[in-house]
Structure 1
């Protein structure tokens, strides 16, 4: 891993002013730095100082300098900061969501002895270590604290796990204790892991190991049972005690600070071993007293005394790759930490910030970076940006595929054993990716780590596959996830991806070359080799709509069908009446349907130019409301329709659907509009 100097965050003093704590807020928008002058300094996401406030003693009669801050921690919602002090108390300050809000103490937790260390778990309470060896949990909502366990000696360090469900504590007698607050699926027991040779002031809990280091200048890695798996001995080098450590958010890197030096240790998934990736000598830095890795896995900041060597580097501020570190004399510096960086397709910059984590930043201004991380811990070997709009990411590991939608910021990681790299990816449908490989079609929904479905098919043309995932879904309605594909060249299978059951099998007498499900998945349009357009339902019924078809499509957000035959556009505003179509003459080829700003038009290429033919938007809205059983929307439309010739048939359609749905008041209103007073009164009284 590379360490690149970015710039200074806080300047050093000419005297000792130890930085005792550096923490990023969980939302990565705020940075807090605590120093031995009993002040908390607040910075924004670009490390620009925005605020400062002083802390308070437990009792003002003892004087403002009767204590020092030992540690700080951000709350999971990023609006509070917990401060642990040597005068046997923890204060929780509410700093608010916006800059400049008044800082008020919202919680106080008195302790039996001085606080030595403190963390705030992302899925739990404040965990505090005390001078008398106790480890306690402070519950903010109930304003109560309880002792989790008591060790035989002083608590010197705390370290959370990557998931935020448990923590480690190290003590002055060298013992390291593991404690799980919630079940996270690993079923590992809590208790003493091992006894380190010296007090482990530098403590970190990586994905699969525990790192401990201290004054003996040795860095040791233990497994979950306390067995030593790797050791780095720096005692023979010109090295002093190791004072602090911090694990990366991915759990695959550890930054350790000592006298005038920062080291980065990386986990190698391929070799299954910890390796020293990089080290940086910082002359006149003195002891590194605090380290914090930004939680998106991209930035790192150290604190040190004024260093002429670092001043030679031009500070470059990036939106990621930052690490924070604190020093004995109160300075804070920032470094970029990446394994490598590359530009893909000239539109995206990819920074490998860990073996199993990359940050992808679109080069266009205004687009936010996307973090792609392997949840299985495998090393990411290859990253590609695909799709017509460069909006989709495909990354590979040894045993999985990672698929991401940059716009939706959704990532999926599925098991994948094929090593031929012969897959074909299609991103035509929202929220899903289609993968064709070795005669098999796999459907992956972004955000889910299991394939939505997998079927055998020899057709690798996306025009003969259609997927609909919860489109035009009514509130409270069940999920609709359906797939239509060619079982063989003449047979279309419609299946439910939730139950994996077949909904319909539709047979044709000739080969099918195009198909598309409606947005609700209840109807299917298909075109065969003879250019005939068919409409099928989920019961397997089939109706011929048109012959000589060169273009066909559903209108976005509706159940309206548009098709072209020769020099005529045919529009079915109500597919329940396939014999009734609106015909529009054109002089070119239809290529697309555009629906925006309350208008729907068919784009036709005529003599090298594109001409838009408007459709009847009110009829589209009515048909959509009718098919979705949105009776309120349908009635509002008919009220505005007044006495147009087609109004009577529309009122009858709404009445029929309302009766089928047992909406009797809606049916009564429809019959009143039709002049059938008897039926209207009957349904009102019923």
Structure 2
């Protein structure tokens, strides 16, 4: 079984070697038959051992016991023509598959090799080899690291990119039995097998926790494991039972939840977690597929939005009128405390213990920036569609949507949308790839203009009267402001970061000012 990364397709391969395609509601919409390595051997000559969707959800890789991987193009829509676009012949049976990157399929073989197939070049190569059959593969949350479990109990780790963690590659640990149930969580690795134990290992292979069920007569061997997309929950399947383990970040331990027991379910052979974390599918030895709703809690917000907390660090926000969804996730793994929808029901705001999450529901641009212990006293302004303005304790901070760093911070006591102007790449200029500027009041009679991209001050403009309105033009090179006497002035940035007066008017209304800006 496999879920598509875009959450719209769910694939199940039957014992008849037919792939059934379902929508996210569990309704069957399409199907196609798989093929043997050579038609002369017949359709009974192989079994499908594993399958996985491509990152763009338009292809499925099928790993077979007759020493081949077929990649089928299934298209974006139901009913699209199915065609084989890649085939990789191997020297032994394919046991398990991962597709972590666009053109890279990682797979394990009975002969102990872990290999990489490139769908662009149609060539495959060996990543590393062992002397023992590969029985399981697992990736970390980012997909840039893999674990392989082998029949002799060895677990090997490999990184395409260690993301600065400094963790070692190669043989990581030796489990007492074959690690058929292998999962890589955010903070540790969970391993289960035929000894009726689930063991949590640290990143360097040390035992952290052991959950021992060997004295439980109703328990049998653990056959498969799956990690939630956030990496903070692991489900392990056995006979008639699913065991759920949740990571407790404050205590840095795994807590076992109440197991899900289903009489006559029999041995669970496959688990697939939906990429947004909202559903888990379990396949059984007898051909059944069980669909579970994964939800810590569900909240209806303002009778307009449904918020589904699928994990401590992940929330799905769904617009009840349009059906559109946004997955809000803390990439640091922090617990999301509360989600609010502000700015005419368009923008998301959520706090964790150390970060602030912001998002635009219309463009699906999300940000998570460091924000330790503010006490929740911030004021948010959403007048600008590309940047969120946050005012807290005399400091103005700017966060650009889809950027995970604070764009800039300045000290000011004048937090009014009419007294702040931000321009971010609104008009292309020759020789200026990143044009981001901010104009704000230092005091009631002084304007400061800052280049946010370069991080320096472009100058200050002093005036003889109180300023009650200001605005930069799209390029950030002209500044228009008005004072209490209704006098409007315009300044232009010239070489050397000086501001020269170019326009003066005795009286002008707000509507006239905006028309003038449009024409500049």
Deviations 1:611-658 (A, max 9, x none): xxxxxxxxx7xx4xxx5xxxxxxxxxxxxxxxxxxxxxxxxxxxxxxx
The corresponding residue for 1:260 is 240
Select which of 308, 313, 316 maps to 1:356: 313
Q: Given that residues 451 and 457 in structure 2 are in contact (C-alpha distance below 8 angstroms), is that contact kept between their aligned partners in structure 1?
A: yes
Q: Given that residues 141 and 231 in structure 2 are in contact (C-alpha distance below 8 angstroms), is that contact kept between their aligned partners in structure 1?
A: yes
Deviations 1:417-463 (A, max 9, x none): 23322211111111101111111111110111111111111212222
1:376 aligns with 2:332: yes
Q: Given that residues 480 and 488 in structure 2 are in contact (C-alpha distance below 8 angstroms), is that contact kept between their aligned partners in structure 1?
A: yes
Deviations 1:583-619 (A, max 9, x none): xxxxxxxxxxxxxxxxxxxxxxxxxxxxxxxxxxxxx
The corresponding residue for 2:42 is 63
Q: Which one is further off, 239-248 or 130-139? A: 130-139
Instruction: Give distance in 1, aligned partners of 2:179 and 2:255.
Output: 20
Shift in CA distance, 243/406, structure 1 to aligned 2, threshold 3 Å: same
* SS of residue paired to 2:340: strand
Higher relative contact order (CA 8 A, sep 6+): 1
1:143 aligns with 2:100: no
* SS of residue paired to 1:187: coil
Q: Given that residues 54 and 102 in structure 2 are in contact (C-alpha distance below 8 angstroms), is that contact kept between their aligned partners in structure 1?
A: no
Gaps of 5+ in 1: 1-21, 299-321, 562-574, 576-619, 628-686
Q: Which one is further off, 238-247 or 92-101? A: 92-101
Instruction: Give distance in 2, aligned partners of 1:460 and 1:110.
Output: 65
Shift in CA distance, 30/490, structure 1 to aligned 2, threshold 3 Å: same
Instruction: Give distance in 2, aligned partners of 1:89 and 1:462.
Output: 62
Select which of 322, 344, 367 maps to 1:366: 322
Gaps of 5+ in 2: none
Deviations 1:44-98 (A, max 9, x none): 2333212222222223333321211111111222222211111222222222233
The corresponding residue for 1:282 is 262
Deviations 1:247-283 (A, max 9, x none): 1111111122111112221112222211123421111
* Alignment: residue pair count: 515
Q: Given that residues 124 and 165 in structure 1 are in contact (C-alpha distance below 8 angstroms), is that contact kept between their aligned partners in structure 2?
A: no
Deviations 1:392-411 (A, max 9, x none): 11111111111111111111
Superposed, 1:176-255 pairs within 5 Å as: 176-237=155-216, 238-255=218-235
Superposed, 1:447-596 pairs within 5 Å as: 447-473=402-428, 478-538=433-493, 539-542=498-501, 545-547=504-506, 549=508, 551-552=510-511, 554-555=513-514, 560-561=515-516
Shift in CA distance, 267/554, structure 1 to aligned 2, threshold 3 Å: farther
Instruction: Give distance in 2, aligned partners of 1:412 and 1:63.
Output: 53
Q: Given that residues 103 and 120 in structure 2 are in contact (C-alpha distance below 8 angstroms), is that contact kept between their aligned partners in structure 1?
A: no
1:401 aligns with 2:360: no
Instruction: Give distance in 1, aligned partners of 2:51 and 2:200.
Output: 26
Q: Given that residues 128 and 136 in structure 1 are in contact (C-alpha distance below 8 angstroms), is that contact kept between their aligned partners in structure 2?
A: yes
1:36 aligns with 2:15: yes
* SS of residue paired to 1:61: helix
**TM-score, length-scaled by structure 1:** 0.72
Per-residue deviation at 1:477?
A: 5.1
Select which of 49, 62, 74 maps to 1:83: 62
Q: Given that residues 532 and 544 in structure 1 are in contact (C-alpha distance below 8 angstroms), is that contact kept between their aligned partners in structure 2?
A: no
* SS of residue paired to 1:485: strand
The corresponding residue for 2:379 is 424
Q: Given that residues 265 and 278 in structure 1 are in contact (C-alpha distance below 8 angstroms), is that contact kept between their aligned partners in structure 2?
A: no
Shift in CA distance, 545/346, structure 1 to aligned 2, threshold 3 Å: farther
Q: Given that residues 268 and 355 in structure 1 are in contact (C-alpha distance below 8 angstroms), is that contact kept between their aligned partners in structure 2?
A: no
Select which of 266, 273, 297 maps to 2:253: 273
* SS of residue paired to 2:138: strand
Instruction: Give distance in 2, aligned partners of 1:553 and 1:36.
Output: 73
Instruction: Give distance in 1, aligned partners of 2:93 and 2:372.
Output: 54
Instruction: Give distance in 2, aligned partners of 1:554 and 1:479.
Output: 26
Instruction: Give distance in 2, aligned partners of 1:475 and 1:332.
Output: 58
Per-residue deviation at 1:532?
A: 2.1
Shift in CA distance, 37/553, structure 1 to aligned 2, threshold 3 Å: farther
The CA RMSD measured in Å over matched residues stands at: 2.0
Q: Given that residues 267 and 355 in structure 1 are in contact (C-alpha distance below 8 angstroms), is that contact kept between their aligned partners in structure 2?
A: no
The corresponding residue for 1:565 is none
1:446 aligns with 2:436: no
Select which of 138, 143, 155 maps to 1:159: 138
The corresponding residue for 1:328 is 285
Q: Given that residues 492 and 502 in structure 2 are in contact (C-alpha distance below 8 angstroms), is that contact kept between their aligned partners in structure 1?
A: no
Q: Given that residues 379 and 397 in structure 1 are in contact (C-alpha distance below 8 angstroms), is that contact kept between their aligned partners in structure 2?
A: yes
Pick the structure with greater CA Rg.
1
